[in-house]
Structure formats: C-alpha cells, structure tokens
Chain A
Amino acid sequence: MTLRPMLFALGAAAAAFCAAEPLSVRQVILEPGAQPVIQVRFSHPLERGAAANLDPANVTMAPGTVRVQRITHSPGRTNELQLYFTGALSTQFVSVRFAQLLYRDAGAMHTAEGVDGLSTESAADELERLRARVQQIPKSSQQRHLSASGFVTAARGSSQGGAELSLNPALSTPGMTTFLQFNKSTQPGADAKHFETGFRFRQALPWNRALLNSLAQARSPQEINRAVEAVQSRLMAGAVVDAAAKIEVAAASLAVSKFVGDVGVQLVTRTQRHWRCYAVPFAIEVGRSLHADSAVDWIARYKAGLGATLFVEDGSARYPVRRAEVDFQGVARHLIFNETMFGGSTAHGLRGYGWLDVRLYVGITPAGRYGFRFSLQQGSLPPVYAPVRSSQFGILFGSADDQE
C-alpha cells in the first residue's frame, strides 16, 4: 500500500472515531397541572445559546390538537427542553419532532435534523420504575473508589489488601434499613476483625423548620430567594436519631459474638464552601454475649464520635492537584463492664478508633476522576478490639457511572 491510501484510510478511521454520536430523545414526559408542559429529555446536552433549539416553529406534535407556544431549557438539566403548548390534550401519549437541534458531544457542537420522540410509558409504570430506582442502594463514591482501585496498596514494607463494605438495603417501613459492615484486612496491624449486621431505624430532626415553612408559604420569587438565603446562612442542618439492633461478630473466626442495641444522636452541619462535619455527642450500646461459656455476660458502652470532611478545588486548573479532600472520622467508646479483648483477656475502660483519608485528584474529566489516596487507621473496634495501626497509599479512580 502506498503512502497516500494509507493516510486516507487513517484519516477516515480518525474521522469515524471522532464523529459525534447521533442525538436521540430518551424520554417524553407530559407534566399536567395549571400550566401543562411537555418535557423532552435528550441523549446529549443541548447547546445553550442556540436560538433554533428554543424556536416553537422548530417543533411539530401529535396529536395535532396542540401547538407549541414556548420552549425553555429545563432548570438543572442541560439535556432537557420544556415545551409549553396550547390546546387540549386528551391522551398522555404524545409524539414530538424537532426539525433541527444543536447539541454538544465530546466538547464540540453538532447539528441533528429530524429528531423524534414518543411518550411510551404510563404514569403508573413510570412511578413504579422510579420508586425501585430511588429505593435501591447504588455504589457510594467510596465504593466506586474501592471497586476501581481494589484498595490494594503498598503499606509499610508489604503490599496487601483491605476492604470495607457497607450494604444498606431499605425495608418497606419508612426510616428502617438493614446493614452489614465488614472491616477486614490481611495486612498485619490493619485487621480490625470487625463485622456487624442488623437493622436500624433513623429519624431526622431538621433544625431550620421555621425557615422551610416560610419557604413553602412564600408568595413571590423574591420571598423564596430571601428564605433560601436565610436557610443558607445557617450552620447546622439538623439532628438524626439512630436506633439499631445488631449482632457483632469477630470477623472470620466467629469466636466472639454479641447482640447489641444501639441508640444515639447525631448532629449534622450543612455543607459549607470548604467543609462539612457531624458529631455524635451521645450514644449508648447495651447487649449480651451470645456465647454461653464466655467470661463476659452483659455489655454496656458509652459512645461519642466526630467526623469532618474538608475539600478545596482548583477551578482554574493552574495547579497539578485539581481537588484535595481530607476525611476524618473518630469514635471513642467507654466500656463500662469487662469485654473480651483480642488475645482472650478481658478489660474495660476507654477504646478509640480513628480514620484519616486524604484524596488528591490530579484529573477530573467527564469520564471520571483520578488521583492518589492516602489513608491512616488507628485504634480498635468491637467486638474483640484488635489493635489497628496501619497506613495505606493507593491510586484512585472514580468512574463517572453516576452521570446520566
């Protein structure tokens, strides 16, 4: 093959690789009410400044009894248009056709012609589908990091692995969830041997109720904005009362198991520009050992804790680190009665556990974010209070699978 056909083939391949994905309609929703509106959601973000996208003459609808009067971008969604229409609509199934739309793909603007959409789902089906989606437990950001990096890190001369899993499937009772927490590591000095599972009831007590009432009762956009401003000037978001019944087991060995009831209050701040925080000033854990031959019978603990997250982001992209996050969580337990310790002895008194996590993101792209992570754990956790003192360093990659 001579040079020219090879270059031509390479160019064609590059063009095919860079070609924009065609724009399509993902969903058409009829929103009833005093001012009915049709929301059309697309596969890609639309070009914000394009007059053609907001031109009612650009759209035809079926049934033909309705006519588009005005089009706006949907607030908070870059890939959605709102169509205000005149005329009576006797069915919830409508179809729309856009003669031309300008949209963005891979950072560039493209034109799509003849884009069709049809509402195909009944209101009841849609509600059930969405209910299942918001009640299921997606991966948290930390779990995304763990699944991506494996948390397999080089730590103090050895390279081994550790994992923390937390599952919270919701039960049908509002506020009630089940949970399973597992903290296990093969790295020497990093294994907390902590495993607990049970169910939890949680009740939130918002602290800005009066301001929210004034927001709900506001009679003009200006009143609303003033109420939002007042809420955003507050430090505290509220309190959360937690009550749980759980079984604590020494992970892997099952040599120690305890049934424990746990009641506590958590104070939660609002997220400020660079930080958020929570504190557990008061919690008690009361229970019994489940081993008949155990030297330990009753269990009673007072618990207090604190957690904080600090974050700084470089919006100008001038520095190599685009975003830095520091997470700290600490808990202290005062054991009122003797409890079984790691190694078989029994003891009471103060036991603490702290965890520091530093994440430095060097790249944040639409495909994901990546960087480095350093974490430090020290202290001990029930049921056996195995001493933990470890540090880990790893590569961090958070996928963007949460994006639409």
Chain B
Amino acid sequence: MPLHRHRRAPPVAVTDGALQVCFALASVTNLVTVDAAAEPFAVAPDDVFARTFDDLRVGLSHQQMPIFKANLAGLLPRPLAPDVARIADDAGLAIGDVADFIAAALRKTVLP
C-alpha cells in the first residue's frame, strides 16, 4: 500500500472563525445546533449572529460566558487567545459582534 494512503487529511481549516463561534456556542447550549456537513455549514437558529448570547433562542447566562470564551479560545489559533479573553463576560453582547471581532482578529493576526 502506498505510504500516502496512510496519511490522514489535515484538520478542517479555520477560515473566518464563524464556524468556531458556533461550535463554542453549541458546546455551552443545546438550543444552538451546528451541521458542518452542509456547504456552507448550517446553524440553528439560522439568524444566530443577529441575536445576543442571552437571547431566548440561545439561552446563555453571564455565568456561562467564561466557559464559552475558554472553549472558543481552544478552537482558534493560539495567538488569538488574549483577544478572546478580553471579550466581556456579559451575555447581553451580540453574537454577531463577537463573530465579526474574531474574523477581524484572524485577518490581522493569522491569515496571510
């Protein structure tokens, strides 16, 4: 068997971070679900980035925000960890603002 047949595919690349934000949300609340097999990926609620973390359809509390941030930092490239840590522990934040911030930080810090 040729050697290259044993090689596994590389991990799914981080692009704009939107998928990772959705994963981190899904890791803290069952009210948000993600389907990575769809192209582009599908998330429910489908307007999740227009909602806040404490939205009725997202269901995060202030107490869960530090866990969300720690999970998000673990899913993103390491140089972004300080930026993620500085996100406010407030569930009143708009999820879209956090996703935009992560995308902008990735553009500046990591991506070519």
Would you call A403 and B50 a contact (CB within 8 A)? yes
A299 vs B96: C-alpha distance when bound (angstroms) = 44
A159 within 8 A of B: no
- Does A199 count as interface, using CB distance less than 8 angstroms? no
- Is the beta-carbon distance between B94 and A402 smaller than 8 angstroms? yes
Report yes or no: A135 in contact with B86, Cβ–Cβ below 8 A. yes
Contacts A224-B12, A266-B63, A271-B31 known; A76 to B36 CB distance under 8 Å?
no
A168 and B97 in contact (CB under 8 A), knowing A76-B48, A222-B37? Answer: no
* Partner pick for B91 among A45, A123, A140, CB 8 A cutoff: A140
CB distance from B13 to the nearest CB of A (A): 7
Flag if B67 contacts A237 (CB, 8 Å): yes
CB-CB < 8 A to A402: which residues of B? 51-52, 55, 92, 94
Select from chain A the residue with minimum beta-carbon distance to B45: A76
Cβ of A225 and Cβ of B83 under 8 Å apart?
Answer: no
Question: Are A123 and B107 closer than 8 Å at their CB atoms?
Answer: yes
How far apart are the CA atoms of A219 and B36 in the complex, in Å? 11
Give the residue name and chain of the B residue nearest to A200 (CB): B89
**Whole-angstrom distance between the Cβ of B52 and the nearest chain A Cβ:** 4
Chain B residues whose C-beta falls within 8 Å of the C-beta of A7 in the assembled complex: none
A404→B93 CA distance, assembly (Å): 12
**Contact assessment for A208 and B27 in the assembled complex, using a CB-CB cutoff below 8 Å:** yes
Which residue in chain A gives the minimum CB-CB distance to B34? A228
Chain A interface, DSSP helix/strand/loop, else mixed: mixed
Contact between A141 and B54, CB atoms less than 8 A apart: yes
Interface size class of B (residues with CB under 8 A): 35 or more
Pairwise interchain contact B108-A75, C-beta atoms closer than 8 A: no
15 contacting pairs across A/B (C-beta < 8 A):
A33-B112, A76-B18, A76-B43, A77-B49, A133-B101, A215-B75, A220-B12, A224-B23, A228-B26, A237-B64, A237-B67, A266-B63, A271-B59, A311-B59, A402-B51
Contact of B30 among A74, A127, A134, A270 (CB under 8 A): A270
9-residue interface stretch from A15-23, A170-178, A338-346? A170-178
User: Is A202 in contact with B66, judged by CB distance below 8 angstroms?
Assistant: yes
User: Which stretch in A185-193, A246-254, A272-280, A384-392 binds the other chain?
Assistant: A272-280
B54 touching A140, Cβ below 8 Å: yes
A224 neighbours in B (Cβ, 8 Å): 12, 23, 36-37
Q: In the complex, are the beta carbons of A209 and B74 less than 8 A apart?
A: yes
Q: Tell me the B7-57 residues at the A interface (CB within 8 Å).
A: 8-13, 15-16, 18-19, 22-23, 26-31, 33-43, 46-52, 54-56
What residues on B are CB-neighbors of A311 within 8 Å?
56, 59
Chain B residue contacts of A32, Cβ below 8 A: 107, 111-112
Q: How far is the CA of A59 from the CA of B1 in the complex (A)?
A: 48
Which chain B residues border A172 with CB–CB below 8 Å? 86
Q: Mark B95-112, 1 if CB is under 8 A from A, else 0.
A: 111111101110110011
CB distance from A199 to the nearest CB of B (A): 13
- Contact residues in A for B100 (Cβ distance below 8 Å): 130
Residue A255 is within 8 A (CB to CB) of chain B in the complex? no
Given A76-B46, A127-B108, also A216-B101 (CB < 8 A) = no
Residues of A within 8 A of B12 (CB): 218-221, 224
Report the separation of the CA atoms of residues A317 and B89 in the bound assembly, to the nearest whole angstrom: 33
Asked whether, in the complex, the Cβ of B108 is within 8 Å of the Cβ of A123, the reply is: yes
Beta-carbon contact of A133 and B61 below 8 Å: no
